């Protein structure tokens, strides 16, 4: 059996209870060494075999899983944040299907949630934005043409950019072709929930400059949108005059 587990954004106590239990029991652990907090590996059994996938190919990862399976061992594949975002889990799962190896997927706290917590922010403010666009700037890995940043920027919705901290000049250009202006608020959240977490508040027009001044080039999320400013509408859910399934609203 292979367990794909979300390690959370960084702080070791942000792995789920289930993920931690599986981590304590695993015979083999393959962790994404570029981003998973190595402190988590302290939970592993003494004789657990640990591999860093940052130095491995897909084929090598599958080989380790296959060999462990042949010996009746349990493998845990530890991905950063939640495995469903930029985790490259699908290609692993498809190969495991071909080999007839069973697996499951234990969710984790994605870094986009860790970044919101770092700024004590709410992405979906009433009257401001009710959608979150999670995307990335095209770099060495392309993005489908229909999802070009400038096109997604037309919505003016809350935006969270992964894997783009090293491309901020291009990001600015693309965002400005959409509904955002140079003054639209933005934030760069470096290593959310890690001890070295850093938040840089800036605007769309100063993204590249702010990151350069702080020396941030990777392991950061770019948050964009008016949810970062102060005005919004109150929620209907907690409005005294609004009736819900659970509460009768009072007349004004
Ligand atoms: N599956 C992960 C994302 C992996 S892609 C998740 O759900 O978070 C790797 C990118 O995620 C990094 O380049 C960076 O943009 C972002 N990232 C991961 N951990 C982060 C953290 N603690 N703080 C800020 N960004 C982070």
Confidence of residue 230 (pLDDT cuts 50, 70, 90): confident
Using the predicted structure, report yes or no on whether residue 44 has a pLDDT greater than 70. yes
What residues contact residue 227 under an 8 Å CB cut-off, 6+ apart? 121, 122, 123, 124, 125, 128, 129, 158
Instruction: Quote the ligand 1 centre to 202 CA distance (angstroms).
Output: 20
Which of 105, 117, 84, 106 lies closest to 221, judged by CA?
Answer: 117
82 lines ligand 1 (CB under 6 A): yes
Q: Which residue has the tokens 């997927």?
A: 105
Contacts 24+ apart (CB under 8 A), 198-206: 199/118, 199/119, 201/228, 204/172, 204/175, 204/176, 204/180, 205/172, 205/176, 205/181, 206/182
Q: Which residues is 201 bridged to in the sheet?
A: 187
Mean pLDDT of 23-36: 97
Nearest CA to ligand 1 atom 2: 81
Q: What is the pLDDT of residue 24?
A: 98
**Order of strands, edge to edge, in the sheet holding 220-224?**
132-136, 158-162, 220-224, 185-190, 198-203
For 100-142, what is each residue's pLDDT tens digit?
Answer: 999 999 999 999 999 999 999 999 999 999 999 999 999 999 9
The Cα 141–Cα 163 span in angstroms is: 10
Q: What is the pLDDT of residue 2?
A: 98
Nearest CA to ligand 1 atom 14: 219
DSSP sequence for 34-58 = TTS-GGGGGGS-TT-EEEEGGG--H
191 lines ligand 1 (CB under 6 A): yes
For 166-224, what is each residue's pLDDT tens digit?
Answer: 999 999 999 999 999 999 999 999 999 999 999 999 999 999 999 999 999 999 999 99
Q: Provide the percentage of residues in the chain whose pLDDT is more than 70.
A: 100
The Cα 242–Cα 208 span in angstroms is: 44
8 lines ligand 1 (CB under 6 A): no
Token code pair at residue 213: 């001044």
Q: What is the pLDDT of residue 175?
A: 98
37 lines ligand 1 (CB under 6 A): no
Using the predicted structure, report yes or no on whether residue 90 has a pLDDT greater than 70. yes
Q: Which atom of ligand 1 is closest in space to residue 194's alpha carbon?
A: 22
Q: What is the pLDDT of residue 252?
A: 66
Do β-strands 2-6 and 103-106 pair in parallel, antiparallel, or remain unpaired? Answer: parallel
**Angle 223-226-227 (CA atoms, 0-180°, nearest 5)?**
70
Using the predicted structure, report yes or no on whether residue 234 has a pLDDT greater than 80. yes
Mean pLDDT of 72-96: 98
For 52-66, what is each residue's pLDDT tens digit?
Answer: 999 999 999 999 999
Provide the mean pLDDT of the chain. 97
Q: What is the pLDDT of residue 251?
A: 81
Token code pair at residue 127: 């009257």
Using the predicted structure, report yes or no on whether residue 84 has a pLDDT greater than 90. yes
| Greatest Cα-to-Cα distance within the chain, rounded to the nearest angstrom | 69
Alpha helices in the chain (DSSP H): 17-25, 58-70, 90-99, 111-118, 149-152, 168-176, 207-214
Token code pair at residue 61: 């990862």
Confidence of residue 80 (pLDDT cuts 50, 70, 90): very high
Instruction: Quote the ligand 1 centre to 9 CA distance (angstroms).
Output: 7
Among 6, 113, 117, 219, which residue has the most ligand 1 atoms within 8 Å of its CB, making it the best to mutate? 219
pTM (two decimals): 0.95
């Amino acid at each position: 059996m292979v367990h794909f587990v979300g390690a959370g954004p960084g702080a070791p106590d942000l792995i789920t209870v289930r993920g931690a239990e599986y981590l304590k029991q695993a015979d083999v652990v393959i962790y994404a060494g570029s981003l998973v907090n190595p402190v988590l590996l302290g939970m592993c059994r003494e004789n657990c075999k640990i591999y860093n996938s940052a130095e491995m190919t897909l084929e090598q990862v599958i080989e380790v899983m296959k060999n462990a399976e042949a010996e009746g061992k349990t493998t845990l594949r530890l991905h950063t944040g939640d495995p469903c975002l930029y985790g490259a889990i699908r290609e692993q799962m498809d190969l495991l299907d071909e080999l007839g190896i069973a697996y499951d997927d234990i969710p984790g706290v994605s870094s986009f949630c860790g970044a919101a917590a770092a700024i004590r922010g709410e992405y979906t403010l009433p009257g401001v934005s009710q959608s979150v666009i999670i995307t990335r700037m095209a770099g060495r890995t392309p993005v489908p043409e229909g999802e070009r940043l400038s096109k997604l920027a037309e919505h003016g919705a809350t935006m969270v950019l992964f894997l783009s901290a090293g491309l901020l000049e291009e990001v600015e250009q693309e965002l400005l072709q959409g509904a955002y202006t140079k003054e639209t608020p933005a934030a760069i959240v470096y290593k959310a929930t890690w001890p070295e977490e850093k938040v840089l508040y800036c605007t769309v027009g100063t993204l590249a400059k702010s990151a350069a001044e702080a020396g941030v080039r990777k392991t950061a999320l770019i948050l964009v949108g008016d949810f970062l400013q102060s005005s919004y509408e109150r929620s209907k859910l907690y409005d005294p005059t609004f009736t819900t399934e659970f509460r009768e609203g009072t007349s004004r």
